[in-house]
Amino acid sequence: MNWISNYVRPKINSLFSRREVPDNLWTKCPECGTMLFHRELSENLNVCTNCDHHMNFTPRERFAALFDGGVFVEVKVPEPITDPLGFRDQKKYPDRLKAAQKATAEKEAMLVAEGEIGRTPIIAAAQDFSFMAGSMGMYVGNAIIAAAERAVKLKRPLVLFSAAGGARMQEGILSLMQMPRTTVAVELLREARLPYIVVLTHPTTGGVTASYAMLGDVHIAEPGALICFAGPRVIEQTIREKLPEGFQRAEYLLDHGMLDRVTHRRKMRDELVAILRMLTRQSPAVAGDLPAPKTDVAPIAVADTPVTPKTKVEKK
Amino acid sequence: MTTYLEFEKPLAEIEGKAEELRAMARNNAEMKVEKEAAALDKKAADLLRELYKDLSPWRKCLVARHPDRPHCKDYIEALFTEYTPLAGDRNFADDHAIMGGLARLDDLPVMVIGHEKGNDTKTRIERNFGMARPEGYRKAIRLMDLADRFGLPVITLIDTPGAYPGKGAEERGQAEAIARSTQKCLEIGVPLISVVIGEGGSGGAVAFATADRVAMLEHSVYSVISPEGCASILWKDAEKMREAADALKLTAQDLKKLGVIDRIIKEPSGGAQRNSAAAIASVGSELALMLAEFAGKKPADIIKERRRKYLDLGTKGLAA
Ligand SMILES: [Zn+2]
């Protein structure tokens, strides 16, 4: 039984592809080079239909596929001060931020939402690699803290999808301080005895891996995801060590004991539902074509409202 | 023998001249050089003060990495008694980049943990230049846990270029080891005091410096990435490290303004590398002051306040 194909995907995908993307767009799989028709790719959760390569999946796309009926309510994240250091490299940091906001139609690199998956209430947080490489600064830290606090308040598990090039260098030491800050968030969940599941997606690196992404009760990775602290290029340059095939990929980490599971994106939702329901000692999920859940609060963001960003398509 | 940094070249010349004069006088009793030499000494002292009065962030990086600066081992030997190293992570190895063990500070039993860089080729290699492998973090976790169970304050001395970018370190899960070490810092119900004595390099530093009180030596640095690394990523040119060092705001002075650290510990004129004993003594008295703040505090309150501190961090920016 597949939750996604059975009931969520057909509705949501048709909305997405009809409204957002003209039908004549193709994406080239960066792994095998196959040209993929956009609708086909989108219906397959941005996984190559030829080689199973898992491509970038924005938080909004992911949440639309994850939550029952594609319905979720965004959790508000406290705004940090913009550009705390007055950082400038070749560009000013505020200009880089604005460019990323324009390109993604998102405010920052993490989206937090509450909703149900397989009728199991959860809080979910997802990092947006398309926003400044998902880098972790004050906002991402605030988002994870807000997610944990919301989870504690509603007594729900937290599922976090990580994707990041590392720390937001433009926030200097304050980006580094997100390592302890997000760890405090994990501590709040632990103390409240709420499950914290990390889904590591491609790529999860640097200070993100060395904090909240490696502190889950359960670690699940998407196939082929690069997961590391120091990246392969850094290692090859500094240590001049030859690295083995598949080094730092999800399957390699699984072999080395750093992950519980490597799970295909199509099966992720079912698996999360099963694990969460067992950890919270609820009855098994019943798969089927369920309608969207009734919510007490009016959803402020569902998959087919105008806040949905344009799905990025590479034209090759 | 003083090791001069590039920007100290003019100083080296003056001090060299004074030394030359005195050397000549030693061989020739007729020569009266002391007056001239003393004038050069004064000139050198003035120049030294001038050079160190307002060190640029990049120069601070060079000073923080100076090979003659006192290292963790020197602090432990001078400030603590009965230092009893405790080795190993009980899993794979003992990491020599991380020193750690029981010791007494003014008779008070504590757990001391720190990065040791080594001071010559042999010891630098032994110590892996102060770059911990996963075993180092896991040893520290074990020692912090031990300290917590027996009510001993933990003192950490930070001096590392960062985590070790090696194949084995990655395979053995250094990201997880760093994360768990930071987590342990947040879980212990005993005072945790941290002093950045040289380089506070990224995750390798945070893993031990997530503390109730963080102090930095006046010319030490603490950063998310090295200026060279930042320059090569954002400027696509590692030679732009001066610009990167400026932009990163990695000095003790900037970090204090940002509320990331609590205290700046003064260094002797010309930096800790010119007078190790004085630098070590200042660290000693500041440690005592910081520890005294925790007298009679309940473990639960210590944990609560430490977490609060990190949750609240980052509300202060630097006026651009
Ligand atoms: Zn493919």
CA dihedral sign, ordered A89, A92, A97, A98: negative
Q: B97 in a domain, yes or no?
A: yes
Q: pLDDT-derived band of residue A294, with 50, 70 and 90 as boundaries? A: low
- The model's pLDDT over A250-275, given as tens digits with 9 standing for 90+, comes to 999 999 999 999 999 999 999 999 99
* Residue B140 shares a structural domain with residue B270: yes
Q: B316 in a domain, yes or no?
A: no
**Surface-to-core class of residue A306, CB atoms within 10 Å of its CB (0-12 exposed, 13-18 middle, 19+ buried):** exposed
* Residue B41 shares a structural domain with residue B93: no
Question: Helix (H, G, I), strand (E, B), or coil: what is residue A127?
Answer: strand
Q: B118 in a domain, yes or no?
A: yes
Question: Helix (H, G, I), strand (E, B), or coil: what is residue A162?
Answer: strand
Residue A312 has pLDDT above 50, yes or no: no
**Surface-to-core class of residue B319, CB atoms within 10 Å of its CB (0-12 exposed, 13-18 middle, 19+ buried):** exposed
* Residue B292 shares a structural domain with residue B208: yes
Distance between Cα A35 and ligand 1 center (Å) = 8
Which CATH number fits the domain that encloses residue B251? 3.90.226.10
* Residue B29 shares a structural domain with residue B75: no
* Residue B151 shares a structural domain with residue B77: yes
Residue A298 has pLDDT above 80, yes or no: no
Q: Can you read off the two tokens belonging to residue B254?
A: 């900037």
The shortest C-alpha distance from B235 to chain A (Å) reads 6
Name the CA dihedral angle for B302, B308, B309, B311, rounded to a multiple of 10 degrees.
150
CB A78 within 8 A of CB A108: no
Residue A295 has pLDDT above 60, yes or no: no
Residues by chain with Cβ below 5 Å of ion ligand 1: A 29, 31-32, 34, 48, 50-51, 53
* Residue B249 shares a structural domain with residue B110: yes
* Residue B29 shares a structural domain with residue B150: no
CB B213 within 8 A of CB B309: no
Question: In the prediction, which pLDDT does A291 show?
Answer: 60
Q: B320 in a domain, yes or no?
A: no
Determine whether the interchain pair B163/A84 forms a contact, defined as Cβ–Cβ distance below 8 Å: no
Q: How many other CB atoms are found less than 10 A from the CB of residue A288?
A: 9
User: Residue A112 is inside which H or E element, if any?
Assistant: strand A110-117
Q: What is the ipTM of this complex?
A: 0.95
A240 near B CB under 8 A? no
E-assigned strand segments in B161-276: 192-201, 213-217, 221-223, 263-265
Question: In the prediction, which pLDDT does A290 show?
Answer: 60
Question: Which residues does chain B have with pLDDT short of 50?
Answer: 320
* Residue B105 shares a structural domain with residue B241: yes
* Overall domain count for chain B: 2
Residue B73 domain boundaries: 61-311
* Residue B240 shares a structural domain with residue B156: yes
Helices and strands in chain B: count of H runs, count of E runs: 14, 8
Q: pLDDT-derived band of residue A299, with 50, 70 and 90 as boundaries? A: very low
Q: pLDDT-derived band of residue A2, with 50, 70 and 90 as boundaries? A: very low
Residues of B in contact with A80 (CB under 8 A): 314-315
Residue A307 has pLDDT above 50, yes or no: no
Mean pLDDT, all residues of chain A: 87
Q: Identify the bridge partners of residue B110 per DSSP, sorted by sequence position.
A: B103
- Complete DSSP assignment for B259-318: TS-SEEE---TT-GGG-HHHHHHHHHHHHHHHHHTTTT--HHHHHHHHHHHHHHTT----
Nearest to B305 by CA among B189, B193, B214: B189
- How far is CA B206 from each of CA A179, A216, B173, B202, rounded to the nearest angstrom? 8, 19, 16, 6
Question: In the prediction, which pLDDT does A315 show?
Answer: 40
Provide, rounded to the nearest whole percent, the portion of chain A with pLDDT above 70.
83
Radius of gyration of chain B (CA): 21
Which residues between 156 and 185 in chain B have a beta carbon less than 8 angstroms from any beta carbon of chain A? 163-167, 169-176, 178-180, 182-183, 185
Q: Can you read off the two tokens belonging to residue A312?
A: 């990025």
* Residue B112 shares a structural domain with residue B219: yes
Question: In the prediction, which pLDDT does A292 show?
Answer: 61
Q: B317 in a domain, yes or no?
A: no
- Cα–Cα distance, A65 to A75 (Å, whole number): 18
* Residue B13 shares a structural domain with residue B113: no
- Cα–Cα distance, A139 to A95 (Å, whole number): 16
Q: Can you read off the two tokens belonging to residue B276?
A: 């190790």
DSSP B274: G
Question: In the prediction, which pLDDT does A309 show?
Answer: 42
* Residue B135 shares a structural domain with residue B203: yes
Q: B295 in a domain, yes or no?
A: yes
What are the φ and ψ backbone dihedral angles of A198, each rounded to 5 degrees?
-105, 130
B235 near A CB under 8 A? yes
DSSP A115: E
- The model's pLDDT over B253-299, given as tens digits with 9 standing for 90+, comes to 999 999 999 999 999 999 999 999 999 999 999 999 999 999 999 99
Residue A304 has pLDDT above 50, yes or no: no
